[in-house]
Amino acid sequence: MNCLTRILLLLLLPFFTVNTSAKTVDLIFVLDASGSVGQNNWETQNEFVSELIRRLPGEDYNIGLISFSTNAIVRHSLSDHQSYESISSALTNMPYSGGSTNHRDAINTALDMHESFNSGNDLFMAMFTDGTSYPVSSGSVCQRNFSAGIATRNRFLNSGAEPLIYAVGSAINTATIDCITTNPDAEIVHVSDYQEHRLLATSGLFYAAIDPENYSGSPIDYDGFEGACISSGYNYIEGECFISSASTVPVPTAAWLFGSALVGVVGLKRKK
């Protein structure tokens, strides 16, 4: 290899690699694509996740995406390109599959991704789901003491990973997955349906959970849905929560995160 070739390779190398050395958290979104979700709700859910990622405070996160129904599938790995454009494109193009609800495979796939990436970072798993594990024998983590479910639960808890579970709708059965949490009141967010304005109003809880150092654990005044919407950085108009009409939504600040730590996250601290 001559000197000119070496110089060209050194100049071009940054364009062909993904720099993850400065990242401190592996953040994996695990998204329910089962039959009960439906195509429209699937698209709304993924648009919300894209918005959550766009507004992440700082650049300390490697992002992974997994969809699951009968089986779990990696859609964007922690080692894939980490630009917002690449991640958003993966979300937009993620197919809706339908099928049953295999929480066990979803959780194991997230752990597999994190372990194979081998970053040494903390793992934060945000799971969105609307139902109950089915079939229970092959998909449940917490019910009926199936040995494979117990193994998944122990593997998750022993990994030191932190969960935030979005439990959406009235058909949700959190008993199938709540054993991977250590503080269910803080780590399970109940949302009544997939309507965009209801999801948006919960975003403050998400940011407070992933970045607990930036808010005080003390409770503050909370004015129901309107308060959650406004403190999450959105516009509350006639009973609904809307993204700002401005071209960009400001990146959350420490003060914004303090105002976001409202319901279900009091006392939540990152485990070391």
Condensed to tens digits (0 to 9), the pLDDT of residues 164-210 reads 999 999 888 889 899 999 999 889 988 988 988 788 888 878 888 88
Distance between alpha carbon 176 and the CA centroid of its chain, in Å? 18
CB 205 within 8 A of CB 265: yes
Domain definitions of the chain by residue range: 20-194, 214-264
Number of C-beta neighbours around residue 111 at 10 A: 19
Model pLDDT, residue 232: 72
Tell me which amino acid residue 127 is.
Answer: M
Model pLDDT, residue 244: 55
The SS3 of residue 34 is coil
- Contacts of 94 by beta carbon, 8 Å cutoff, 6+ apart: 31, 33, 46, 65, 67, 75
Q: For domain 20-194, which CATH number applies: 3.20.20.70, 3.40.50.410, 3.30.365.10, 3.30.465.10?
A: 3.40.50.410
What is the rounded end-to-end Cα distance, in angstroms, of the chain?
47
CA dihedral 160, 91, 140, 207 (to 10 degrees): 40
Residue pLDDT tens, the chain, 272 long: 444 433 333 333 333 333 444 578 999 999 999 999 999 999 999 999 999 999 887 788 999 999 999 999 999 999 999 999 999 999 999 999 999 999 999 999 999 999 999 989 999 999 999 988 988 888 999 988 889 999 999 999 999 999 999 999 988 888 989 999 999 988 998 898 898 878 888 887 888 888 776 643 333 333 466 777 777 777 777 666 776 543 233 333 333 333 333 333 333 334 44
SS3 content of the chain, % helix, strand, coil (to 5): 40, 20, 40
pTM of the model: 0.76
Using CA atoms, how far residue 138 sits from 92, 100, 133, 135, in Å, is 29, 11, 8, 6
Tell me which amino acid residue 85 is.
Answer: E
Q: Taking phi first (over 0 means left), then psi (-120 to 50 degrees means alpha), and beta for anything else, what does residue 13 get?
A: alpha
- Contacts of 51 by beta carbon, 8 Å cutoff, 6+ apart: 200, 203, 243
Model pLDDT, residue 8: 31
Model pLDDT, residue 226: 75
CB 260 within 8 A of CB 232: yes
Model pLDDT, residue 241: 72
Helix orientation angle between 203-210 and 39-54, rounded to the nearest 10 degrees: 50
Tokens of 160: 């030191």
d(CA 50, CA 18) in angstroms, rounded, equals: 20
